[in-house]
Amino acid sequence: MCLAIPMKIISKNGDNVIAEVDSVKKEASVMLLGEEVEVGDYVIVHAGFAISKLDETYAKETIRLMREVFSEEDLA
């Protein structure tokens, strides 16, 4: 199963970012986004690409719900 995960951008270099959720860091490209993102923004990451920018409140609520539904092994 593939999931798109809400993640917080912790560093940015051009169109490449490092995003993190629950201490898991992933490299992703933001080239598909139609808007600018900065460190501290939340994005949905799927298959190495940020596909959508999220409001922080919505992102945190989605992460909270995912923690309830999935075990830690499912999210890693």
pLDDT (tens digit per residue) in 39-69: 999 999 999 999 999 999 999 998 899 888 8
CATH number of the domain where residue 18 is located: 2.30.30.140
* DSSP 8-state secondary structure symbol assigned to residue 71: -
Cα 29 to Cα 61, 65, 67, 70: the distances in Å are 24, 25, 25, 25
- Cα separation, 50 vs 48, in Å, equals 7
> Residue with structure tokens 């169109």?
15
pTM for this structure? Answer: 0.85
What integer pLDDT is reported at residue 54 of this predicted model?
A: 95
**pLDDT above 60: residue 75:** no
**pLDDT above 70: residue 1:** no
Domain membership of residue 33 as a residue range? 5-75
What total of structural domains would you count in the chain? 1
